[in-house]
């Protein structure tokens, strides 16, 4: 069930809802909404503080049922942690906590006053947008490949309103659009590779374009067309699979006809076995998320279209499956890329860069974009360097890098920059081709970025390595929807300035 979101008036004690949500800081300091409820209900919250039922600790919550003097049936009291430490990240976290607590209650709707809480450096529109996204993220359930369940007779959370004035309306609208992009990305990335094939991704893009035909068009190249055009690198990666490669290009026209488009490019490896350079078995199932870059840029595209941004945007997804087979490409093969540069394959598991290089060349040639941002689950080395909190950002363009870092800070979908100095380029030298596809043991995330840089010369280009941020690890780990919010914010900042 998709949640419905709206804005609510600022009167927690009289609002008619199944559940009102208010915050309490650690040490029992009430927020103003909590104080109003407390006043109307004869000190009911303070009593809970005194009894120790409400601590205000982050991650804690308590429910007041049918308090006298309050119109709502329930009051959910959410712990905000220490008031002096309360910041944007805490705000995002407590809104997720609240959504999870609401999900466990038999309520069909709620009105949250957490959006009235002061967050240093952030306005009401940001608070509503961030609360909406955190709520929708927490409420997301993956159901696509389970046996359909009978409908529960218990009420389920279907509506959440956030207390805010009209000045937060833009935040609500942006939040709705970005949430749709995030859900699109998560749903696509969570699907298993026997369903989510290159052809399936292409079909999803075509369906989206058909549903937004006034402003969006879609072009799909199959393996035969790519062969004619010279996508020698991309096609080599897909050769071992029965699921043939595709190149998907979505175009959104929201700006003036002559405006150069922004371009997204996303790695769409629907499953990465490593190919002939086969990966070990343990954890290989996580490589179904190797199309997380594709999902992320498609989600960013969805968000941009839903926001109706006044700019032009293209989203290009090269997609293939990396499998071992009698017809697979092999280490020592020399490929001729679309750019004409030849590539010596030293490891068939460094396949992401091989599909991206042709897609980057084609994107630059076809659209002459004003900037290109690619997203890719590109290297295990990036996970070692930055872990699961920061996306790796690489660019030779300081202004573009700064824009993307700023968008990450705004949305808390954060990136951290790694250098792309020419010093690293020597690691890619080959005795048999213009470039090798791996750069040795050290600086693996950077040498992957360096490889891509060879195919983006003259372009204003940045690379996002999302290997650590695109999904949560573990047996039940889901796609995170990153970097949809970062990409959407980056575009928003381009039209608002």
Site of interaction with ligand BES (CB under 6 A): 272, 290, 347, 349-352, 377-381, 383, 438, 444, 467
Q: Which residue sits closest to ligand BES, CB atoms considered? A: 380
Report, in Å, the least distance between residue 279 CB and ligand BES: 7
Report, in Å, the least distance between residue 292 CB and ligand BES: 8
Residues 335-374 that bind Mn ion (CB under 5 A): 349, 351
Interatomic CA distance for residues 464 and 31, integer angstroms:
39
Interatomic CA distance for residues 33 and 398, integer angstroms:
44
Nearest to 432 by CA among 294, 331, 287, 319: 331
| 283 or 431: CB nearest Mn ion | 283
Contact flag: residue 465 with Mn ion (CB under 5 A) = no
Contact flag: residue 333 with Zn ion (CB under 5 A) = no
Report, in Å, the least distance between residue 302 CB and ligand BES: 23
Question: Which partner from the list Mn ion, Zn ion, ligand BES, none does 275 bind, CB cut-off 5 to 8 Å by kind?
Answer: none
Size of the site for Zn ion (CB under 5 A): 4
Report, in Å, the least distance between residue 479 CB and ligand BES: 12
> Catalytic residue at 417?
no
| 132 or 276: CB nearest Mn ion | 276
Query: Contact letters (x/-) for Mn ion, 248-287, by CB under 5 A?
Result: ------------------------x---------------
Contact flag: residue 223 with Zn ion (CB under 5 A) = no
Q: Which residue sits closest to Mn ion, CB atoms considered? A: 349
> Catalytic residue at 306?
no
| 30 or 383: CB nearest Zn ion | 383
Query: Contact letters (x/-) for Zn ion, 377-396, by CB under 5 A?
Result: --------------------
CA distances in angstroms from 397 to 193, 382, 405, 465, listed in the order given: 35, 20, 12, 16
Which is the catalytic residue, given 279, 388, 417, 460? Answer: 279
Question: Applying CB under 5 A, which of residues 352, 369, 439, 468 lies at the interface with Zn ion?
Answer: 352
Question: Which partner from the list Mn ion, ligand BES, Zn ion, none does 438 bind, CB cut-off 5 to 8 Å by kind?
Answer: ligand BES
Report, in Å, the least distance between residue 286 CB and ligand BES: 7
Question: Which partner from the list Mn ion, Zn ion, ligand BES, none does 444 bind, CB cut-off 5 to 8 Å by kind?
Answer: ligand BES
Question: Which partner from the list Zn ion, Mn ion, ligand BES, none does 7 bind, CB cut-off 5 to 8 Å by kind?
Answer: none
| 26 or 272: CB nearest Zn ion | 272
Nearest to 436 by CA among 427, 448, 444, 428: 428
Question: Which partner from the list ligand BES, Zn ion, Mn ion, none does 467 bind, CB cut-off 5 to 8 Å by kind?
Answer: ligand BES
Contact flag: residue 321 with Mn ion (CB under 5 A) = no
Interatomic CA distance for residues 223 and 227, integer angstroms:
6
Which is the catalytic residue, given 46, 267, 288, 353? Answer: 353
Report, in Å, the least distance between residue 351 CB and Mn ion: 5
Q: Which residue sits closest to Zn ion, CB atoms considered? A: 272
Residues 284-303 that bind Zn ion (CB under 5 A): 290
Residues 231-270 that bind Zn ion (CB under 5 A): 269
Interatomic CA distance for residues 238 and 452, integer angstroms:
19
Question: Which partner from the list ligand BES, Zn ion, Mn ion, none does 413 bind, CB cut-off 5 to 8 Å by kind?
Answer: none
Question: Applying CB under 5 A, which of residues 38, 173, 272, 333 lies at the interface with Zn ion?
Answer: 272
- Could you list the residues that contact Zn ion (CB under 5 A)? 269, 272, 290, 352
- Could you list the residues that contact Mn ion (CB under 5 A)? 272, 349, 351
Catalytically active residues, by annotation:
279, 353
């Amino acid at each position: 069930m998709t949640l419905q979101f709206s804005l609510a008036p600022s009167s927690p004690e009289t609002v008619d809802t199944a559940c009102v949500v208010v915050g309490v800081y650690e040490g029992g300091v009430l927020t103003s909404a909590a104080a109003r409820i407390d006043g109307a209900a004869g000190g009911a919250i303070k009593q809970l503080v005194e009894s120790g039922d409400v601590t205000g600790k982050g991650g804690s919550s308590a429910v007041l049922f049918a308090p006298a003097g309050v119109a709502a049936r329930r009051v959910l009291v959410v712990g905000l942690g220490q008031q002096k430490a309360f910041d944007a990240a805490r705000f995002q976290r407590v809104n997720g906590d609240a959504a999870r607590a609401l999900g466990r209650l038999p309520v069909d709707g709620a009105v949250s006053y957490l959006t009235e809480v002061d967050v240093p450096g952030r306005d009401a529109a940001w608070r509503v947008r961030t609360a909406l996204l955190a709520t929708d993220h927490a409420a997301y359930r993956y159901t696509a490949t389970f046996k359909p369940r009978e409908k529960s007779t218990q009420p389920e959370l279907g509506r959440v309103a956030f207390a805010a004035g009209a000045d937060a309306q833009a935040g609500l609208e942006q939040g709705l659009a970005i949430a749709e992009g995030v859900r699109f990305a998560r749903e696509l990335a969570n699907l298993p590779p026997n369903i989510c094939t290159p052809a399936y991704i292409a079909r999803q893009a075509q369906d989206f374009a058909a549903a937004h035909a006034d402003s969006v068009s879609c072009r799909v190249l199959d393996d035969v067309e790519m062969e004619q055009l010279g996508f020698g690198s991309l096609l080599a990666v897909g050769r071992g699979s029965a699921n043939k490669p595709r190149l998907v290009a979505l175009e959104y026209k929201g700006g003036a006809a002559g405006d150069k488009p922004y371009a997204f490019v996303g790695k769409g490896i629907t499953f990465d076995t490593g190919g002939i350079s086969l990966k070990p078995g343990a954890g290989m199932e996580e490589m179904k998320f190797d199309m997380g870059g594709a999902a992320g840029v498609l989600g960013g595209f969805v968000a941009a279209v839903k926001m109706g941004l006044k700019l032009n945007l293209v989203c290009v997804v090269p997609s293939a499956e990396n499998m071992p087979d009698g017809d697979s490409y092999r280490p020592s093969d020399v490929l001729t890329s679309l750019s004409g540069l030849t590539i010596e394959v030293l490891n068939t598991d460094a396949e992401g860069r091989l599909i991206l290089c042709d897609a980057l060349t084609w994107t630059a040639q076809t659209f002459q974009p004003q900037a290109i941002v690619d997203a890719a689950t590109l290297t295990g080395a990036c996970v070692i360097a930055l872990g699961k909190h920061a996306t790796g950002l690489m660019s030779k363009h300081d202004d573009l890098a700064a824009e993307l870092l700023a968008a990450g800070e705004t949305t808390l979908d954060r990136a951290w920059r790694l250098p792309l100095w020419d010093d690293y380029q020597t690691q890619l030298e080959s005795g048999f081709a213009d470039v090798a596809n791996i750069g040795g043991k050290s600086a693996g995330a950077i040498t992957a970025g360096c490889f891509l840089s060879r195919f983006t010369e003259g372009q204003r280009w940045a690379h996002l390595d999302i290997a650590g941020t695109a999904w949560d690890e573990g047996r039940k780990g889901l796609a995170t929807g990153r970097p949809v919010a970062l990409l959407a914010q980056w575009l928003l900042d381009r039209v608002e300035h």
